[in-house]
Structure 1
Amino acid sequence: MPSEPDEYAELVLDTVERIPPGRVLAYGDIAELVGQGGPRQVGRVMSLFGGGVPWWRVVRADGGPPSGHEVRALEEYRVEGTPLRPDGRRVDMRRARWWPDEEPGGPSE
């Protein structure tokens, strides 16, 4: 197991840090944004190095919170006002998904 994130992991973590409160990205969305890997690779990065970033803002494609961390993630969603599905257990991806081009002032902010 690597002790330090490699270049790919740093790209993933930097992307996660940019997700605003109340918004989310799916694992596959992050892979698309960084231009390499896929959902599983992003998941591996998050499992190894994601503790220092807002990990709860990275969800499964169906809006489900990270496996094994559902209770804590749902608490964070409520605090941040993240839109949830009517069942209250998944994020409403249509309303909560974020893309960097939505950032005020562009990607450098």
Structure 2
Amino acid sequence: MNKIDKASFIQAVYDIVKTIPSGRATSYGAVAKAIGYPNLSRMVGRVMSECDSAKTGIPAFRVVNSQGILSGKDAFGSSGEMQKMLESEGVTIVNDRIKNWKAIFWDPMDEIQI
């Protein structure tokens, strides 16, 4: 396996996440697949947990697990912050999970036109 350039990987994750539209969300795995590393969804999660959205402007709160569960919510300080940010964009959250996940899910492989 080729050694991954960490800085390039992080930048690729950021580039995809920046394009997620307001009111939509995607999964760590979808981002990993879109940047060519389908087996590195946990690495995408780690990048998102270390991304300071307030400073970078990267909407990390729009990236959740493959079931639509706010699995990374603890990275946002108070446990309700991720939910508040999503709800401010019209996304409904019930028990830490995005309601109507299939409709809200944004697949970069389908949505990004190159």
Residue 22 of structure 2 corresponds to 21
Residue 3 of structure 2 corresponds to none
Q: Give the secondary structure class of the aligned counterpart of 2:97.
A: coil
Residue 98 of structure 2 corresponds to 91
Give 1:8 deviation, angstroms. Answer: 0.8
Give 1:96 deviation, angstroms. Answer: 0.6
* Structure 1 outlier segments of 4+, above 4 Å: none
- Write the distance in 2 (CA, Å) between the matches of 1:88 and 1:67: 12
- Write the distance in 2 (CA, Å) between the matches of 1:24 and 1:56: 8
Q: 1:48 aligns with which of 50, 57, 79?
A: 50
Q: Give the secondary structure class of the aligned counterpart of 2:24.
A: coil
1:75 counterpart = 2:84: yes
TM-score, normalised via structure 1 length: 0.77
Identity over the aligned pairs, expressed in percent? Answer: 30
Give 1:95 deviation, angstroms. Answer: 1.2
Structure 1: which 5+ runs fail to align?
Answer: none
Residue 57 of structure 1 corresponds to 62
TM-score, normalised via structure 2 length: 0.74
Give 1:90 deviation, angstroms. Answer: 1.0
Change in Cα spacing, 1:88 to 1:47, as seen in structure 2 (3 Å) is: closer
Give 1:27 deviation, angstroms. Answer: 0.4
